[in-house]
C-alpha cells in the first residue's frame, strides 16, 4: 500500500481546512480553479483514468488533492463508467441510473465536464454506431457535461481512401446530430492516431456536416506526436482553434535537433513524453491561441508520461505540477 493511501484522510482534512474542497456540496470554496474559470473562461480538468490508474485510490480523492473538480469521464461501449468514490464500475443502463450517478458524483465534489467515447465508424453497422453515440449524447446531457469526445481512429483507415473515410464520418455524425436536435451537447473529434492528425480530414468533415455543434477535441500534443515540426504545430492549432469544443493536453521533450524536422509518426514517443512543464510545446502560446479564438472551456490534462513515475508519490507529484502549470498559465492569460 502506498504512503499516499495511508495518508489520504490527512490530506483530505488539509484540503478542507484550506478551503479547497467541500465534500458533499460538489463545490470549491475560493479555490484557484474557481477564480480561473470566472476570470478567463478556461479551467483545468483531467481525464478520469489519470486519477485512478496507479495514482489515487478514487477519482474523488485525486480531485480533492489536486484542487480541481472537473473530469472527462470515459464511457465504455456497454455504458459502464468508473465510480467517483470507489474502485468499481457502474452501468448507466437507464436515465434514472445516469441521474443517480450524477448525484453521487456531485455529492463527492466531482463535476463531469466531458464524456469520452470511442466508436470505430469503419467497423460494425452504421445504425448501431449512430445509436450508441446518440445515447452517449443523452447521457452527457443528463450528467451536465458540455461535450462528447469522438475518436477519429478507424481500424480500416489504411484500407479506405480519403473520400470514403470522410464520408463515413460525415454521414454518421450528421445522423447523430439530426437525432439530437434539442441537445446543446457539442461533439469534438479528437486529432488522434494517424488519420485524426490529418488537418484536411478534420476540416473536410466539419465542412461536410456543417453544424456549430461539431468541432474539435483539440489535443495540443498529438500533432507534434504525428511528426509535424514544432513551428507548424502552432499553425495547425491556429486553424483548429475556432472549431475547438474540448481539449486534451500533453507534452513531449524531443532533442533539439528533432524539433523542427518532419519525423515518423510516434517517433520515440515513449522515451520523450514528459510532464506538461518540461515539453517543447509552449502551452501558454497554445492556450493563448485558443483564448484569442474565443475558446472558453476546460483544459483537460492527459499526461502520458505518468508511467515513468516509479511510485504513486512520483506520479501524483507529476499531476500536481501539471495542474499548477496550467492554472498559472490561465491566470496569466486573464484579460
Beta-bridge partners for 244: 216
- Angle 324-325-329 from CA coordinates, rounded to 5°: 115
The residues, ordered by sequence, that sit 6+ positions from 49 with a Cβ below 8 Å of its Cβ are 74, 82
Domain map (residue ranges) of the chain: 41-332
Q: Which pLDDT belongs to residue 53?
A: 85
Q: pLDDT tens per residue, the chain (335 residues)?
A: 443 333 433 333 333 333 333 333 333 333 334 434 445 699 999 999 999 988 999 999 999 999 999 999 999 999 999 999 999 999 999 999 999 999 999 999 999 999 999 999 999 899 999 999 999 999 999 999 999 999 999 999 889 999 999 999 999 999 999 999 999 999 999 999 888 999 999 999 999 999 999 999 999 999 999 999 999 999 999 999 999 999 999 999 999 999 999 999 999 999 999 999 999 999 999 999 999 999 999 999 999 999 999 999 999 999 999 999 999 999 999 86
Q: Can you tell me which residue has the cell 491556429?
A: 238
Q: What is the DSSP string of 100-146?
A: HHHHHHHHTT-EEEEEE----TTSS-HHHHHHHHHHHHHHHHHHT-S
Three-state DSSP class for residue 304 = coil
Q: Please give the CATH architecture assigned to the domain spanning 41-332.
A: Alpha-Beta Barrel (3.20)
Q: Which pLDDT belongs to residue 247?
A: 98
Q: Where are the beta strands (DSSP E) in 195-294?
A: 214-219, 244-248, 251-252, 273-274
Amino acid at each position: 500500500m502506498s504512503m499516499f493511501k495511508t495518508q489520504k484522510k490527512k490530506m483530505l482534512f488539509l484540503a478542507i481546512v484550506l478551503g479547497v474542497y467541500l465534500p458533499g456540496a460538489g463545490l470549491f470554496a475560493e479555490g484557484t480553479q474557481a477564480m480561473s474559470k470566472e476570470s478567463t473562461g478556461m479551467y483545468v480538468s483531467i481525464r478520469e483514468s489519470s486519477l485512478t490508474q496507479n495514482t489515487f485510490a478514487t477519482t474523488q480523492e485525486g480531485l480533492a488533492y489536486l484542487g480541481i473538480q472537473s473530469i472527462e469521464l470515459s464511457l465504455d461501449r456497454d455504458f459502464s463508467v468508473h465510480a467517483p468514490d470507489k474502485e468499481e464500475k457502474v452501468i448507466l443502463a437507464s436515465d434514472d441510473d445516469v441521474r443517480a450517478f450524477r448525484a453521487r458524483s456531485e455529492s463527492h465534489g466531482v463535476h463531469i465536464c466531458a464524456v469520452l467515447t470511442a466508436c470505430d465508424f469503419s467497423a460494425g453497422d452504421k445504425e448501431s454506431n449512430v445509436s450508441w453515440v446518440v445515447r452517449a449524447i443523452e447521457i452527457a446531457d443528463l450528467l451536465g457535461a458540455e461535450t462528447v469526445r469522438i475518436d477519429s481512429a478507424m481500424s480500416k483507415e489504411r484500407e479506405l481512401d480519403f473520400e470514403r473515410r470522410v464520408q463515413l464520418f460525415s454521414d454518421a455524425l450528421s445522423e447523430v446530430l439530426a437525432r439530437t436536435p434539442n441537445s446543446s451537447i457539442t461533439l469534438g473529434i479528437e486529432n488522434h492516431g494517424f488519420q485524426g492528425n490529418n488537418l484536411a480530414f478534420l476540416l473536410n468533415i466539419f465542412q461536410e456536416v456543417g453544424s456549430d455543434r461539431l468541432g474539435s477535441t483539440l489535443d495540443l500534443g498529438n500533432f507534434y506526436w504525428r511528426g509535424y515540426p514544432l513551428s507548424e504545430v502552432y499553425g495547425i492549432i491556429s486553424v483548429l482553434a475556432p472549431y475547438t469544443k474540448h481539449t486534451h493536453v500533453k507534452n513531449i521533450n524531443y532533442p533539439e535537433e528533432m524539433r523542427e524536422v518532419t519525423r515518423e509518426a510516434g517517433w520515440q514517443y515513449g522515451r520523450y513524453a514528459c510532464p506538461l512543464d518540461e515539453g517543447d510545446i509552449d502551452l501558454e502560446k497554445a492556450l493563448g491561441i485558443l483564448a484569442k479564438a474565443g475558446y472558453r472551456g476546460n483544459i483537460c490534462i492527459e499526461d502520458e508520461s505518468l508511467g515513468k513515475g516509479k511510485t504513486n508519490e512520483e506520479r501524483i507529484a507529476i499531476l500536481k505540477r501539471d495542474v499548477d502549470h496550467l492554472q498559472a498559465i490561465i491566470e496569466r492569460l486573464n484579460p
